[in-house]
Chain A
Amino acid sequence: MELLPELEQLAYHAPRGVSDAFIAFVDARLNAGCPVTLVPSKDTRLWR
């Protein structure tokens, strides 16, 4: 199973801090040999 094999960044908007979901996702990718960078985003819009 291969999902998002080229993923490099995970952008998030979390004014109250990073949730466990993002950390778990990043951790999982790291363990799978495909590290991703967690990037904060000030843009609340889905599309820009």
Chain B
Amino acid sequence: MCHTSKPSQVRIQRCYVALTWKRFSVGWRSLSSRASQSSSLTSLLFLFNTSYSFGTQQRISRLTGPLSCSVRMWLSWYPTRIFRVRVGCGHLDWQLESATQIFGAIRTSFSTVEVLALGYARDSISSEWHDEADRSQWRELLRLFSNVKTLRGCSELINLLSFFTAGRRGMANGAVTRAGAARLSCTPRR
């Protein structure tokens, strides 16, 4: 039996995750009508104002003490309606964890995403990402997007995704080897 989406649920087609040196942003665009989107966005804002913001503050407090971490959410109406969340925190692994928290909090809404854009605004990927914990975070984030058909991203991030999946031995001279990248497993289409 096939269940249709709840009337209030947003059907999200496109998502982006932008990691930068001092902050990261996530955003998504809905295919829903304006009326239903407005209702659902209220719910999303409520989610972020409770669980997500609390989680961020908790993380900052536990690791580094009273550092400031800004969370900004807004809906842009031009050129297209895109809901954006921007979190200001310097450490890239925190950004990745925060992104995972955000998408994980509304996991069901992102199961419909077909286009995922990953961005990274820095000259080179920091070596501090190359540990097992971060690989797990990447996997956890990507598992949320089980229906993605198009992936957009810079070469550094695509390389990084291969690296996190394949492990240290999968990368040679800045690029993944065939054997290492082959561990990017998936379920063959039937």
Q: Which residues from chain A sit less than 8 Å from chain B, CB to CB?
A: 1-14, 19-22, 24-25, 27-29, 31-34, 36, 39, 41, 46-47
Contacts and interface: CB of A to CB of B under 8 A. Distances in A.
Given A1-B139, A12-B155, A47-B117, A25 B184 contact: yes
A22 B182 contact: no
A4 B186 contact: yes
Enumerate the 5 nearest inter-chain pairs by beta-carbon distance, A residue then B residue, closest first: A33-B188, A21-B159, A20-B175, A28-B181, A46-B119
Contacts of A14: 155
A3 B148 CA distance: 10
Contacts of A33: 186, 188-189
A29 B175 CA distance: 15
Given A34-B189, A46-B119, A4 B148 contact: yes
Given A10-B158, A25-B176, 14 more contacts: A2-B186, A3-B185, A4-B116, A4-B186, A6-B146, A10-B153, A12-B152, A12-B153, A25-B184, A31-B178, A34-B186, A36-B151, A39-B150, A41-B152
Contact of A22 (B27, B158, B186): B158
Interface string B13-41: 01010100000000100000000000000
A19 B182 contact: no
B178 A28 contact: yes
What's the dominant secondary structure at chain B's contact region? mixed
B112 to A, nearest CB: 11
A8 B150 contact: yes
Nearest to B181: A28
Contact of B162 (A8, A13, A24, A32): A24
B182 A31 contact: yes
Contacts of B147: 6
5 contacts: A2-B143, A7-B149, A20-B174, A28-B184, A32-B185
A6 B149 contact: yes
B69 interface: no
B184 A32 contact: yes
B82 A8 contact: no
A39 B151 CA distance: 10
